[in-house]
Amino acid sequence: MTILGSGNKKMYLGLFPGGTNRDEGYFYLDFFDGAVGKPFNSPAGWMFYTLVGPSKQERMASNEEMHGFSRDAIGAERFRVWHHPRCRLIRPGHVDFDFRVPARDSEDGLVTAVKN
C-alpha cells in the first residue's frame, strides 16, 4: 500500500492479486481510508492511466464503471490492471503519481513493486 495524502485525509492505494489463480495475471487497485480502514470510490477527478509508450496513456475504467454502474451506486470501486505495466494516477491539484505494478512470478508469487 502507498499513502496518498489529500488535505487532512490519509488515503492509501491498495494493490492485491486478482483472479482465481496465479495464471490469470492481473491485480486490483483500491483506495482505502486510513482512518477507518475501508475502501471507497476514487475522489472526483482522480483517474488511473496505463502508460503504453513514451507519450501515450490509456485511461483505466473501474470494473463497476465498465459494467454500467453510476458513481453513486458503487461505494468502493475497484480497478483491474494486468501485471507489470507502468501506471499513472492523475490527481487535480497534486503531482501525478507514477508507479509500476509488480510482475507475477509463476513459482514465488508476487515480486516487489518498483516506484518510478
CATH of the domain at 34: 2.60.40
Whether pLDDT at 93 is above 60: yes
Residue 25 · residue 38 · CB < 8 Å: no
Tell me if 104 is assigned to some domain: yes
Tell me if 116 is assigned to some domain: no
Tell me if 74 is assigned to some domain: yes
Q: Please, what is the average pLDDT of the chain?
A: 76
How many domains does the chain contain in total?
Answer: 1
Question: Which backbone phi and psi does 64 adopt, to 5 degrees?
Answer: -65, -40
Tell me if 75 is assigned to some domain: yes
Tell me if 80 is assigned to some domain: yes
Return left, alpha or beta for 64; rule: phi > 0 is left, psi -120 to 50 is alpha, else beta: alpha
Whether pLDDT at 106 is above 50: no
Tell me if 11 is assigned to some domain: yes
In a 3-state reduction of DSSP, which class is residue 28? strand
Whether pLDDT at 108 is above 50: no
Structural domain range at position 12: 2-110
Give residue-wise pLDDT tens across range 40-87: 888 888 899 999 877 888 999 888 888 887 777 777 778 888 776 888
